[in-house]
Chains A and B, each alone.
Chain A
Amino acid sequence: MIRYLIRRLGHALLLLWGVSTLLFFLLQAAPGEFFSDMRINPQISPGTIAALRSQYGMDRPLPARYFHWMESVAKGEFGYSFAYNLPVSTLLAPRIRNTLLLTVPALLISWLIAVPVGVLAAYRKGNWMDRAFSVGTSTLLALPDLLIALLVLLFALRTGFFPVGGMTSSNQPQGWWKIMLDTAWHMALPVAALVLGSLPTLLRHTRASIVEVLDSSFMRAAHGHGLSAKSSLFRHALPAAANPLISLFGLSVAALLSVSLLVEVIVGWPGIGPLLIEAILIRDLFVVIAAVVFSTMFLVIGNLLADILLYAFDPRIRVQ
Protein backbone atom coordinates (compact mmCIF):
# COMPACT_ATOMS: atom_id res chain seq x y z
CA MET A 1 0.00 0.00 0.00
CA ILE A 2 2.70 2.45 1.05
CA ARG A 3 4.85 1.67 -1.96
CA TYR A 4 1.88 2.00 -4.24
CA LEU A 5 1.06 5.37 -2.72
CA ILE A 6 4.61 6.63 -3.01
CA ARG A 7 4.74 5.64 -6.64
CA ARG A 8 1.47 7.41 -7.34
CA LEU A 9 2.62 10.50 -5.43
CA GLY A 10 5.89 10.62 -7.36
CA HIS A 11 3.99 10.33 -10.60
CA ALA A 12 1.65 13.15 -9.57
CA LEU A 13 4.55 15.45 -8.62
CA LEU A 14 6.27 14.78 -11.92
CA LEU A 15 3.07 15.60 -13.76
CA LEU A 16 2.65 18.86 -11.84
CA TRP A 17 6.22 19.81 -12.62
CA GLY A 18 5.61 19.06 -16.28
CA VAL A 19 2.46 21.15 -16.38
CA SER A 20 4.04 24.13 -14.64
CA THR A 21 7.16 24.08 -16.82
CA LEU A 22 5.11 23.82 -19.97
CA LEU A 23 2.94 26.72 -18.84
CA PHE A 24 5.97 28.80 -17.90
CA PHE A 25 7.56 28.56 -21.32
CA LEU A 26 4.22 28.94 -23.08
CA LEU A 27 3.39 32.13 -21.21
CA GLN A 28 6.87 33.55 -21.63
CA ALA A 29 6.33 33.24 -25.36
CA ALA A 30 3.13 35.29 -25.14
CA PRO A 31 3.10 38.65 -26.92
CA GLY A 32 2.87 41.58 -24.53
CA GLU A 33 3.59 41.56 -20.82
CA PHE A 34 2.40 43.35 -17.74
CA PHE A 35 4.73 46.27 -18.35
CA SER A 36 3.77 46.85 -21.97
CA ASP A 37 0.65 48.76 -20.92
CA MET A 38 2.83 51.08 -18.87
CA ARG A 39 4.75 52.13 -21.97
CA ILE A 40 1.68 53.90 -23.30
CA ASN A 41 1.44 55.95 -20.10
CA PRO A 42 3.41 59.18 -20.65
CA GLN A 43 3.80 59.71 -16.91
CA ILE A 44 6.02 56.66 -16.55
CA SER A 45 9.50 57.10 -17.98
CA PRO A 46 11.19 54.28 -19.92
CA GLY A 47 13.85 54.26 -17.22
CA THR A 48 11.31 53.44 -14.52
CA ILE A 49 9.94 50.60 -16.59
CA ALA A 50 13.41 49.24 -17.24
CA ALA A 51 14.17 49.44 -13.51
CA LEU A 52 10.94 47.64 -12.67
CA ARG A 53 11.65 44.99 -15.26
CA SER A 54 15.11 44.34 -13.91
CA GLN A 55 13.73 44.32 -10.36
CA TYR A 56 11.43 41.49 -11.36
CA GLY A 57 14.20 39.86 -13.37
CA MET A 58 12.32 40.23 -16.63
CA ASP A 59 15.42 41.43 -18.50
CA ARG A 60 17.38 38.25 -17.88
CA PRO A 61 17.59 35.45 -20.44
CA LEU A 62 14.88 32.80 -20.45
CA PRO A 63 16.78 29.94 -18.75
CA ALA A 64 17.87 32.27 -15.94
CA ARG A 65 14.30 33.41 -15.47
CA TYR A 66 13.13 29.80 -15.39
CA PHE A 67 15.61 28.80 -12.70
CA HIS A 68 14.84 31.93 -10.73
CA TRP A 69 11.17 31.01 -10.88
CA MET A 70 11.87 27.39 -9.94
CA GLU A 71 13.80 28.67 -6.94
CA SER A 72 10.84 30.74 -5.79
CA VAL A 73 8.56 27.73 -6.32
CA ALA A 74 10.86 25.71 -4.09
CA LYS A 75 10.59 28.45 -1.47
CA GLY A 76 6.81 28.18 -1.79
CA GLU A 77 6.35 31.64 -3.31
CA PHE A 78 5.43 30.66 -6.87
CA GLY A 79 6.83 33.83 -8.36
CA TYR A 80 5.73 37.39 -7.94
CA SER A 81 2.53 39.16 -8.89
CA PHE A 82 3.30 42.36 -10.80
CA ALA A 83 -0.10 43.86 -10.19
CA TYR A 84 -0.29 43.28 -6.44
CA ASN A 85 3.45 43.43 -5.76
CA LEU A 86 3.15 40.34 -3.56
CA PRO A 87 4.45 36.80 -3.70
CA VAL A 88 1.87 34.77 -5.59
CA SER A 89 1.42 32.34 -2.72
CA THR A 90 0.36 35.16 -0.35
CA LEU A 91 -2.14 36.34 -2.94
CA LEU A 92 -3.43 32.91 -3.81
CA ALA A 93 -3.71 31.26 -0.41
CA PRO A 94 -6.93 33.00 0.74
CA ARG A 95 -8.38 32.63 -2.74
CA ILE A 96 -7.74 28.89 -2.71
CA ARG A 97 -9.32 28.61 0.72
CA ASN A 98 -12.42 30.42 -0.56
CA THR A 99 -12.66 28.20 -3.61
CA LEU A 100 -12.37 25.11 -1.46
CA LEU A 101 -15.03 26.53 0.81
CA LEU A 102 -17.38 26.31 -2.16
CA THR A 103 -16.22 23.16 -3.90
CA VAL A 104 -15.83 20.80 -0.96
CA PRO A 105 -19.39 21.26 0.39
CA ALA A 106 -20.71 21.18 -3.18
CA LEU A 107 -18.84 17.93 -3.81
CA LEU A 108 -20.20 16.32 -0.66
CA ILE A 109 -23.76 17.51 -1.20
CA SER A 110 -23.91 16.48 -4.83
CA TRP A 111 -22.59 12.98 -4.03
CA LEU A 112 -24.97 12.67 -1.10
CA ILE A 113 -27.86 13.44 -3.45
CA ALA A 114 -26.54 11.55 -6.48
CA VAL A 115 -26.00 8.13 -4.91
CA PRO A 116 -29.41 7.53 -3.28
CA VAL A 117 -31.38 9.08 -6.16
CA GLY A 118 -29.32 7.23 -8.77
CA VAL A 119 -29.77 3.92 -6.90
CA LEU A 120 -33.49 4.52 -6.64
CA ALA A 121 -33.81 5.28 -10.36
CA ALA A 122 -31.75 2.21 -11.27
CA TYR A 123 -33.74 0.01 -8.90
CA ARG A 124 -37.03 1.16 -10.38
CA LYS A 125 -35.68 1.02 -13.91
CA GLY A 126 -38.34 1.62 -16.54
CA ASN A 127 -41.17 2.92 -14.36
CA TRP A 128 -42.39 6.49 -14.18
CA MET A 129 -39.85 7.50 -11.57
CA ASP A 130 -36.98 6.39 -13.75
CA ARG A 131 -38.44 8.16 -16.74
CA ALA A 132 -38.93 11.39 -14.81
CA PHE A 133 -35.35 10.98 -13.63
CA SER A 134 -33.99 10.62 -17.14
CA VAL A 135 -35.98 13.61 -18.44
CA GLY A 136 -34.81 15.66 -15.45
CA THR A 137 -31.15 14.81 -15.79
CA SER A 138 -31.01 15.31 -19.54
CA THR A 139 -32.69 18.71 -19.23
CA LEU A 140 -30.37 19.74 -16.43
CA LEU A 141 -27.41 18.47 -18.46
CA ALA A 142 -28.42 20.63 -21.41
CA LEU A 143 -28.73 23.79 -19.30
CA PRO A 144 -25.48 25.74 -19.54
CA ASP A 145 -23.82 26.23 -16.13
CA LEU A 146 -23.66 29.89 -17.01
CA LEU A 147 -27.44 30.07 -17.13
CA ILE A 148 -27.83 28.10 -13.90
CA ALA A 149 -25.54 30.50 -12.09
CA LEU A 150 -27.37 33.52 -13.52
CA LEU A 151 -30.76 32.03 -12.57
CA VAL A 152 -29.56 31.38 -9.04
CA LEU A 153 -28.35 34.97 -8.88
CA LEU A 154 -31.69 36.17 -10.23
CA PHE A 155 -33.47 34.14 -7.56
CA ALA A 156 -31.37 35.79 -4.87
CA LEU A 157 -31.97 39.28 -6.23
CA ARG A 158 -35.71 38.76 -6.67
CA THR A 159 -36.50 37.14 -3.34
CA GLY A 160 -33.89 38.93 -1.26
CA PHE A 161 -33.56 35.89 1.03
CA PHE A 162 -29.91 35.46 0.18
CA PRO A 163 -27.06 37.96 0.06
CA VAL A 164 -25.50 38.80 -3.29
CA GLY A 165 -21.81 39.35 -3.94
CA GLY A 166 -18.78 38.61 -1.80
CA MET A 167 -18.57 36.22 1.08
CA THR A 168 -19.24 38.43 4.09
CA SER A 169 -21.80 41.06 4.95
CA SER A 170 -20.62 44.66 4.84
CA ASN A 171 -21.20 45.02 8.59
CA GLN A 172 -19.46 41.85 9.58
CA PRO A 173 -20.84 40.42 12.82
CA GLN A 174 -18.58 39.72 15.78
CA GLY A 175 -17.75 36.33 17.21
CA TRP A 176 -16.55 33.28 15.27
CA TRP A 177 -19.94 31.56 15.46
CA LYS A 178 -21.71 34.50 13.86
CA ILE A 179 -19.00 34.91 11.25
CA MET A 180 -19.39 31.27 10.36
CA LEU A 181 -23.15 31.59 10.03
CA ASP A 182 -22.74 34.72 7.93
CA THR A 183 -20.29 32.99 5.60
CA ALA A 184 -22.51 29.92 5.33
CA TRP A 185 -25.40 32.20 4.43
CA HIS A 186 -23.29 33.74 1.64
CA MET A 187 -22.15 30.30 0.53
CA ALA A 188 -25.66 28.91 0.06
CA LEU A 189 -26.25 30.29 -3.41
CA PRO A 190 -22.93 29.53 -5.11
CA VAL A 191 -22.95 26.05 -3.60
CA ALA A 192 -26.49 25.51 -4.89
CA ALA A 193 -25.38 26.56 -8.38
CA LEU A 194 -22.38 24.22 -8.21
CA VAL A 195 -24.51 21.29 -7.04
CA LEU A 196 -27.05 21.86 -9.81
CA GLY A 197 -24.23 22.09 -12.35
CA SER A 198 -22.45 18.90 -11.33
CA LEU A 199 -25.44 16.77 -10.32
CA PRO A 200 -26.76 15.52 -13.69
CA THR A 201 -23.48 13.86 -14.71
CA LEU A 202 -23.10 12.16 -11.33
CA LEU A 203 -26.72 10.99 -11.32
CA ARG A 204 -26.47 9.47 -14.77
CA HIS A 205 -23.25 7.63 -14.02
CA THR A 206 -24.57 6.32 -10.70
CA ARG A 207 -27.71 5.04 -12.34
CA ALA A 208 -25.79 3.48 -15.24
CA SER A 209 -23.32 1.62 -13.05
CA ILE A 210 -26.02 0.30 -10.70
CA VAL A 211 -28.17 -0.78 -13.65
CA GLU A 212 -25.24 -2.68 -15.07
CA VAL A 213 -24.68 -4.53 -11.80
CA LEU A 214 -28.38 -5.27 -11.32
CA ASP A 215 -28.47 -6.84 -14.79
CA SER A 216 -25.48 -9.06 -14.12
CA SER A 217 -25.76 -12.81 -13.72
CA PHE A 218 -24.58 -12.91 -10.11
CA MET A 219 -27.43 -10.64 -9.11
CA ARG A 220 -29.87 -12.92 -10.88
CA ALA A 221 -28.28 -15.87 -9.09
CA ALA A 222 -28.65 -14.06 -5.76
CA HIS A 223 -32.26 -13.40 -6.59
CA GLY A 224 -32.76 -17.01 -7.62
CA HIS A 225 -31.36 -18.20 -4.33
CA GLY A 226 -34.07 -16.26 -2.61
CA LEU A 227 -32.08 -13.34 -1.22
CA SER A 228 -34.33 -10.44 -0.32
CA ALA A 229 -34.25 -7.47 -2.65
CA LYS A 230 -32.97 -5.22 0.09
CA SER A 231 -30.08 -7.38 1.18
CA SER A 232 -29.01 -8.15 -2.38
CA LEU A 233 -29.04 -4.46 -3.22
CA PHE A 234 -27.06 -3.29 -0.22
CA ARG A 235 -24.88 -6.34 0.37
CA HIS A 236 -23.99 -7.19 -3.23
CA ALA A 237 -25.02 -4.60 -5.79
CA LEU A 238 -23.68 -1.44 -4.16
CA PRO A 239 -20.15 -2.66 -3.43
CA ALA A 240 -19.90 -4.07 -6.94
CA ALA A 241 -21.04 -0.78 -8.48
CA ALA A 242 -18.73 1.30 -6.29
CA ASN A 243 -15.68 0.81 -8.49
CA PRO A 244 -16.57 3.05 -11.47
CA LEU A 245 -18.17 5.55 -9.11
CA ILE A 246 -14.97 5.99 -7.15
CA SER A 247 -13.10 6.66 -10.39
CA LEU A 248 -15.78 9.18 -11.22
CA PHE A 249 -15.14 10.91 -7.90
CA GLY A 250 -11.73 12.07 -9.11
CA LEU A 251 -13.19 13.33 -12.37
CA SER A 252 -16.03 15.13 -10.62
CA VAL A 253 -13.48 17.25 -8.79
CA ALA A 254 -12.20 18.53 -12.13
CA ALA A 255 -15.68 19.27 -13.45
CA LEU A 256 -16.57 21.06 -10.24
CA LEU A 257 -13.46 23.25 -10.43
CA SER A 258 -14.33 24.41 -13.94
CA VAL A 259 -17.93 25.20 -12.98
CA SER A 260 -16.72 26.87 -9.81
CA LEU A 261 -14.64 29.32 -11.82
CA LEU A 262 -17.74 30.55 -13.62
CA VAL A 263 -19.95 30.62 -10.56
CA GLU A 264 -17.35 32.62 -8.64
CA VAL A 265 -17.14 35.19 -11.41
CA ILE A 266 -20.91 35.53 -11.66
CA VAL A 267 -21.79 35.75 -7.97
CA GLY A 268 -18.65 37.72 -7.14
CA TRP A 269 -17.12 35.14 -4.81
CA PRO A 270 -13.46 35.98 -4.05
CA GLY A 271 -12.05 32.62 -5.17
CA ILE A 272 -9.44 31.65 -7.75
CA GLY A 273 -11.80 32.29 -10.68
CA PRO A 274 -12.06 36.09 -10.64
CA LEU A 275 -8.34 36.39 -9.81
CA LEU A 276 -7.39 34.20 -12.77
CA ILE A 277 -9.56 36.12 -15.23
CA GLU A 278 -8.17 39.42 -13.98
CA ALA A 279 -4.61 38.09 -14.19
CA ILE A 280 -5.16 36.97 -17.79
CA LEU A 281 -6.52 40.36 -18.78
CA ILE A 282 -3.55 42.25 -17.35
CA ARG A 283 -1.00 39.53 -18.18
CA ASP A 284 0.07 38.87 -14.61
CA LEU A 285 1.89 35.74 -15.72
CA PHE A 286 2.91 34.05 -12.51
CA VAL A 287 -0.57 34.34 -11.07
CA VAL A 288 -1.96 32.61 -14.16
CA ILE A 289 0.57 29.79 -13.90
CA ALA A 290 0.03 29.28 -10.19
CA ALA A 291 -3.78 29.30 -10.49
CA VAL A 292 -3.72 26.70 -13.26
CA VAL A 293 -1.17 24.56 -11.44
CA PHE A 294 -3.20 24.64 -8.24
CA SER A 295 -6.36 23.66 -10.07
CA THR A 296 -4.39 20.77 -11.55
CA MET A 297 -3.19 19.88 -8.09
CA PHE A 298 -6.76 19.63 -6.81
CA LEU A 299 -7.57 17.35 -9.68
CA VAL A 300 -4.51 15.20 -8.99
CA ILE A 301 -5.42 15.04 -5.30
CA GLY A 302 -8.96 14.04 -6.25
CA ASN A 303 -7.62 11.23 -8.41
CA LEU A 304 -5.20 10.18 -5.70
CA LEU A 305 -8.03 10.01 -3.16
CA ALA A 306 -10.03 7.97 -5.64
CA ASP A 307 -7.10 5.58 -6.06
CA ILE A 308 -6.71 5.14 -2.32
CA LEU A 309 -10.43 4.51 -1.95
CA LEU A 310 -10.31 2.01 -4.79
CA TYR A 311 -7.40 0.28 -3.12
CA ALA A 312 -9.39 0.05 0.07
CA PHE A 313 -12.65 -1.02 -1.56
CA ASP A 314 -11.61 -3.27 -4.39
CA PRO A 315 -9.41 -6.28 -3.55
CA ARG A 316 -8.78 -6.87 -7.26
CA ILE A 317 -6.55 -3.78 -7.39
CA ARG A 318 -4.38 -5.02 -4.54
CA VAL A 319 -3.49 -8.24 -6.34
CA GLN A 320 -1.68 -6.45 -9.15
Chain B
Amino acid sequence: MTLVCEGAGVRIGAKQLLAAASVQLRPGRVTAILGPNGAGKSTLLSLLSGQRQPTEGRVLLEGRPLQAHGAAALALRRAVMPQESSVAFDFTAREIVALGRFPHRRTPSADEDAIVAEAMALTDVAALAPRILNTLSGGEKARVHLARALAQIWHPPADGAERWLLLDEPTAALDLAHQHAAMRLLREWAARGVGVVAVLHDLNLARRYADEAIVLGATTGLRQGPVAEVLQPALIEEVWSMPCEQVERADGTVQYLFG
Protein backbone atom coordinates (compact mmCIF):
# COMPACT_ATOMS: atom_id res chain seq x y z
CA MET B 1 0.00 0.00 0.00
CA THR B 2 1.97 2.92 -1.26
CA LEU B 3 2.35 5.95 -3.48
CA VAL B 4 4.32 4.76 -6.50
CA CYS B 5 5.86 6.27 -9.61
CA GLU B 6 6.42 3.69 -12.34
CA GLY B 7 8.77 5.17 -14.91
CA ALA B 8 6.89 8.45 -14.61
CA GLY B 9 8.42 11.32 -16.54
CA VAL B 10 7.38 14.72 -17.82
CA ARG B 11 8.36 16.14 -21.17
CA ILE B 12 6.95 19.38 -22.52
CA GLY B 13 7.89 19.77 -26.17
CA ALA B 14 11.64 19.25 -26.37
CA LYS B 15 12.12 20.01 -22.68
CA GLN B 16 12.52 17.08 -20.31
CA LEU B 17 11.33 18.32 -16.92
CA LEU B 18 11.75 14.93 -15.30
CA ALA B 19 13.34 11.78 -16.76
CA ALA B 20 11.40 8.57 -16.17
CA ALA B 21 11.42 8.11 -12.40
CA SER B 22 10.48 5.05 -10.41
CA VAL B 23 10.00 5.57 -6.68
CA GLN B 24 8.01 3.88 -3.96
CA LEU B 25 6.78 5.85 -0.98
CA ARG B 26 5.24 4.38 2.12
CA PRO B 27 2.99 6.01 4.70
CA GLY B 28 4.41 6.46 8.18
CA ARG B 29 7.73 7.73 6.84
CA VAL B 30 9.37 11.03 6.07
CA THR B 31 10.87 11.03 2.57
CA ALA B 32 13.10 13.89 1.45
CA ILE B 33 13.37 14.75 -2.24
CA LEU B 34 16.80 16.27 -2.81
CA GLY B 35 18.79 17.61 -5.73
CA PRO B 36 20.23 20.75 -7.28
CA ASN B 37 18.07 23.48 -8.84
CA GLY B 38 16.29 22.35 -11.96
CA ALA B 39 16.77 18.65 -11.23
CA GLY B 40 13.01 18.06 -11.28
CA LYS B 41 12.22 17.91 -7.54
CA SER B 42 9.11 20.05 -7.73
CA THR B 43 8.03 18.25 -10.91
CA LEU B 44 8.30 14.89 -9.11
CA LEU B 45 6.31 16.29 -6.20
CA SER B 46 3.62 17.61 -8.55
CA LEU B 47 3.35 14.13 -10.11
CA LEU B 48 2.89 12.64 -6.66
CA SER B 49 0.23 15.23 -5.77
CA GLY B 50 -1.62 14.75 -9.06
CA GLN B 51 -1.18 18.42 -9.98
CA ARG B 52 0.64 17.25 -13.07
CA GLN B 53 0.09 14.15 -15.14
CA PRO B 54 3.09 12.17 -16.36
CA THR B 55 3.70 12.23 -20.11
CA GLU B 56 5.21 8.75 -19.75
CA GLY B 57 4.82 6.04 -17.12
CA ARG B 58 2.22 6.29 -14.38
CA VAL B 59 1.61 7.24 -10.76
CA LEU B 60 -0.34 4.86 -8.52
CA LEU B 61 -1.88 5.42 -5.10
CA GLU B 62 -2.81 2.22 -3.29
CA GLY B 63 -2.58 0.34 -6.57
CA ARG B 64 -4.87 2.66 -8.57
CA PRO B 65 -3.84 5.47 -10.92
CA LEU B 66 -3.86 8.73 -8.98
CA GLN B 67 -6.37 10.39 -11.35
CA ALA B 68 -8.81 7.49 -10.86
CA HIS B 69 -9.26 8.48 -7.22
CA GLY B 70 -10.92 11.76 -8.16
CA ALA B 71 -9.86 15.24 -7.06
CA ALA B 72 -12.48 15.57 -4.33
CA ALA B 73 -11.69 12.18 -2.77
CA LEU B 74 -7.93 12.85 -2.92
CA ALA B 75 -8.40 16.21 -1.20
CA LEU B 76 -9.86 14.43 1.83
CA ARG B 77 -6.57 12.68 2.52
CA ARG B 78 -3.78 14.38 0.61
CA ALA B 79 -2.61 17.88 1.45
CA VAL B 80 0.02 19.89 -0.38
CA MET B 81 2.00 22.79 1.00
CA PRO B 82 3.06 24.99 -1.92
CA GLN B 83 6.53 26.46 -2.29
CA GLU B 84 5.10 29.90 -2.78
CA SER B 85 1.60 31.06 -3.33
CA SER B 86 -0.04 34.41 -3.75
CA VAL B 87 -3.39 34.79 -2.06
CA ALA B 88 -5.89 37.18 -3.63
CA PHE B 89 -7.81 39.57 -1.36
CA ASP B 90 -7.36 40.27 2.34
CA PHE B 91 -8.00 36.89 3.88
CA THR B 92 -6.85 36.54 7.48
CA ALA B 93 -4.41 33.82 8.48
CA ARG B 94 -7.24 32.02 10.23
CA GLU B 95 -9.46 32.11 7.13
CA ILE B 96 -6.62 30.65 5.07
CA VAL B 97 -6.11 27.75 7.50
CA ALA B 98 -9.89 27.21 7.57
CA LEU B 99 -9.78 26.77 3.78
CA GLY B 100 -7.87 23.57 4.50
CA ARG B 101 -11.19 22.23 5.77
CA PHE B 102 -12.92 23.04 2.46
CA PRO B 103 -12.84 19.40 1.20
CA HIS B 104 -14.71 18.34 4.35
CA ARG B 105 -17.50 20.92 4.01
CA ARG B 106 -20.16 18.27 3.30
CA THR B 107 -19.09 16.00 6.16
CA PRO B 108 -17.74 18.40 8.79
CA SER B 109 -16.32 17.19 12.08
CA ALA B 110 -17.94 18.33 15.29
CA ASP B 111 -14.79 20.29 16.04
CA GLU B 112 -14.04 22.21 12.82
CA ASP B 113 -13.09 25.41 14.67
CA ALA B 114 -10.91 23.51 17.13
CA ILE B 115 -9.07 21.79 14.26
CA VAL B 116 -8.17 25.16 12.76
CA ALA B 117 -7.04 26.54 16.12
CA GLU B 118 -4.98 23.47 16.98
CA ALA B 119 -3.34 23.32 13.57
CA MET B 120 -2.33 26.97 13.97
CA ALA B 121 -0.95 26.27 17.43
CA LEU B 122 1.14 23.40 16.03
CA THR B 123 2.94 25.68 13.58
CA ASP B 124 3.18 28.56 16.05
CA VAL B 125 0.85 30.92 14.18
CA ALA B 126 -2.04 31.05 16.68
CA ALA B 127 -1.14 34.64 17.55
CA LEU B 128 -1.29 35.61 13.86
CA ALA B 129 -4.87 34.35 13.40
CA PRO B 130 -6.58 37.76 12.92
CA ARG B 131 -3.76 39.21 10.77
CA ILE B 132 -4.15 39.64 7.00
CA LEU B 133 -2.07 36.91 5.36
CA ASN B 134 -0.54 39.21 2.77
CA THR B 135 0.92 41.42 5.49
CA LEU B 136 2.88 38.55 7.08
CA SER B 137 6.55 37.75 6.49
CA GLY B 138 7.57 34.89 4.20
CA GLY B 139 8.28 32.55 7.08
CA GLU B 140 5.01 33.38 8.80
CA LYS B 141 3.08 32.77 5.56
CA ALA B 142 4.84 29.42 5.15
CA ARG B 143 3.78 28.35 8.64
CA VAL B 144 0.19 29.42 7.94
CA HIS B 145 0.16 27.30 4.78
CA LEU B 146 1.67 24.40 6.72
CA ALA B 147 -1.14 24.73 9.27
CA ARG B 148 -3.64 24.74 6.40
CA ALA B 149 -2.15 21.51 5.03
CA LEU B 150 -2.31 19.86 8.48
CA ALA B 151 -5.92 20.99 8.99
CA GLN B 152 -6.84 19.47 5.62
CA ILE B 153 -5.85 15.93 6.69
CA TRP B 154 -6.41 16.36 10.42
CA HIS B 155 -8.39 13.17 11.05
CA PRO B 156 -7.65 9.76 9.50
CA PRO B 157 -10.31 9.14 6.81
CA ALA B 158 -13.24 7.01 7.96
CA ASP B 159 -12.52 4.40 5.27
CA GLY B 160 -8.99 3.88 6.63
CA ALA B 161 -7.33 5.37 3.54
CA GLU B 162 -3.71 6.51 3.85
CA ARG B 163 -3.04 10.17 4.55
CA TRP B 164 -0.33 11.99 2.59
CA LEU B 165 1.36 15.29 3.24
CA LEU B 166 3.41 16.67 0.36
CA LEU B 167 5.56 19.75 0.93
CA ASP B 168 7.59 21.83 -1.51
CA GLU B 169 10.52 23.35 0.38
CA PRO B 170 8.56 23.76 3.61
CA THR B 171 11.56 25.09 5.51
CA ALA B 172 13.03 27.45 2.89
CA ALA B 173 11.62 30.65 4.43
CA LEU B 174 11.83 29.58 8.08
CA ASP B 175 14.34 30.68 10.71
CA LEU B 176 16.60 28.06 12.28
CA ALA B 177 14.36 27.25 15.26
CA HIS B 178 11.21 27.05 13.15
CA GLN B 179 12.99 24.85 10.58
CA HIS B 180 13.71 22.25 13.22
CA ALA B 181 10.30 22.67 14.86
CA ALA B 182 8.63 22.09 11.48
CA MET B 183 10.72 18.99 10.76
CA ARG B 184 9.98 17.56 14.21
CA LEU B 185 6.28 18.19 13.54
CA LEU B 186 6.52 16.29 10.24
CA ARG B 187 8.20 13.38 12.06
CA GLU B 188 5.37 13.29 14.60
CA TRP B 189 2.80 13.20 11.83
CA ALA B 190 4.71 10.40 10.10
CA ALA B 191 4.77 8.50 13.39
CA ARG B 192 0.96 8.70 13.36
CA GLY B 193 0.89 6.97 9.99
CA VAL B 194 0.89 9.91 7.59
CA GLY B 195 3.12 9.62 4.53
CA VAL B 196 5.30 12.74 4.49
CA VAL B 197 7.16 13.75 1.34
CA ALA B 198 9.16 16.98 1.38
CA VAL B 199 11.36 18.69 -1.16
CA LEU B 200 14.33 19.95 0.87
CA HIS B 201 17.52 21.86 0.13
CA ASP B 202 19.19 21.49 3.52
CA LEU B 203 20.98 18.14 3.52
CA ASN B 204 21.58 18.31 7.28
CA LEU B 205 17.85 18.70 7.92
CA ALA B 206 17.17 15.79 5.58
CA ARG B 207 19.76 13.59 7.25
CA ARG B 208 18.49 14.38 10.71
CA TYR B 209 14.72 14.11 10.20
CA ALA B 210 14.03 12.04 7.06
CA ASP B 211 13.77 8.26 6.92
CA GLU B 212 14.31 8.01 3.20
CA ALA B 213 15.97 10.16 0.58
CA ILE B 214 15.32 10.48 -3.12
CA VAL B 215 18.25 12.21 -4.81
CA LEU B 216 17.85 13.58 -8.32
CA GLY B 217 21.29 14.12 -9.83
CA ALA B 218 22.13 15.07 -13.40
CA THR B 219 24.87 12.45 -13.78
CA THR B 220 23.85 9.94 -11.13
CA GLY B 221 20.22 9.54 -12.09
CA LEU B 222 17.65 8.92 -9.40
CA ARG B 223 18.74 7.28 -6.13
CA GLN B 224 16.28 6.21 -3.46
CA GLY B 225 16.94 4.52 -0.13
CA PRO B 226 17.38 5.03 3.61
CA VAL B 227 18.75 8.52 4.11
CA ALA B 228 22.02 7.39 5.76
CA GLU B 229 22.79 5.01 2.89
CA VAL B 230 21.95 7.37 0.06
CA LEU B 231 23.45 10.58 1.42
CA GLN B 232 27.10 9.54 1.26
CA PRO B 233 29.68 12.32 0.89
CA ALA B 234 30.83 10.87 -2.43
CA LEU B 235 27.32 11.11 -3.91
CA ILE B 236 26.81 14.60 -2.49
CA GLU B 237 30.07 15.76 -4.07
CA GLU B 238 29.03 14.37 -7.44
CA VAL B 239 25.45 15.68 -7.40
CA TRP B 240 26.03 19.15 -5.92
CA SER B 241 29.70 19.64 -6.99
CA MET B 242 30.62 20.63 -3.45
CA PRO B 243 33.39 19.09 -1.36
CA CYS B 244 31.65 17.35 1.51
CA GLU B 245 32.80 15.90 4.79
CA GLN B 246 30.70 13.83 7.18
CA VAL B 247 31.22 14.33 10.92
CA GLU B 248 29.62 12.39 13.74
CA ARG B 249 28.85 14.19 16.95
CA ALA B 250 29.08 12.69 20.43
CA ASP B 251 25.34 11.97 20.48
CA GLY B 252 25.64 9.96 17.27
CA THR B 253 23.93 12.46 14.93
CA VAL B 254 25.66 13.04 11.63
CA GLN B 255 26.33 16.44 10.11
CA TYR B 256 27.73 17.40 6.74
CA LEU B 257 30.37 20.10 6.36
CA PHE B 258 30.81 21.66 2.95
CA GLY B 259 33.55 23.48 1.06
A and B bind: no
Please give the residue numbers on chain B whose beta carbons come within 8 Å of chain A beta carbons, in ascending order. Answer: none
Q: Give chain A's interface residues, CB within 8 Å of chain B.
A: none
